[in-house]
Amino acid sequence: MNKNILGLILSIFFIASACAPKQEEIIAIDVLLTLPKEMDQQAIQLNQAIVKDNPTNFTLDKNHIPHITLLQCYIPESDLSNVAEALKGLYKTVEHDTLWADNLQYTKEKEESFSSIRIKKSNQLVTLHKKVIALVKPYMVTNGSQESYVQNTDDTPIDQFTIDYVPVFVPEHSFENYNPHISLGVAKTSLLDSLNQNNFRPTKFQATSISVYQLGSFGTAQKLLWQSE
């Protein structure tokens, strides 16, 4: 092939590649309430007892923070700044609201159950949940994937349950179906009975921020993307 023709073909290829639109990065986010020290430590202590009983659980720590989810969804990464701007100032309207961790919830009829700290579903909390959905809705998409998450350090894939759960959070787990809680993990119900009776302490508290985290496996809040002022 003539060198001039080959050069022309290569030039056209590189120009076309440079002009081709880049694939939009989609990220999985959790808009959440962070916890004060006392509530944070109680959640971590309960989770540690559960992980000791069942090491396959997620571990709550500074890289997998205890939290109360307000919304989970997929958004284009390029819209993160728009989401942050939409949420700006919202925390100031709820910073003095009292939240109540009133019960350890799990399925007592099963031998083993997922467990969490139940947060009382107050009118103020439900209103905040609805407001967050309304503010972020213009930026929500449904085409998330494995790559939308903080990847596991052991190179295992993100669990399919989480990938499927996030895009249906609004239609299936919100509004009248909203269940505010702090996730703890799966354990034998005999252990959970003991923790409920001897370790869990009902607590009233105020959230310390509204934050946006990128999700990891099992719906854990892993990477801080934005935090209220």
The residues near 158 (Cβ < 8 Å, ≥ 6 apart) are 146, 149, 151, 152, 216, 217
**pLDDT cut 70: percent of the chain above it:** 90
Flag whether pLDDT at 168 surpasses 50: yes
- Please identify, in words, the CATH class of the domain defined by 24-227: alpha beta
Structural contact between residues 119 and 180, judged by C-beta atoms closer than 8 angstroms? yes
- Per domain, the residue ranges of the chain are 24-227
Q: What value does the mean pLDDT take over residues 193-212? A: 97
Q: What value does the mean pLDDT take over residues 192-205? A: 97
Distance of CA 134 to the CA centre of its chain: 17
Split at pLDDT 50, 70, 90, the class of 24 is confident
Flag whether pLDDT at 229 surpasses 90: no
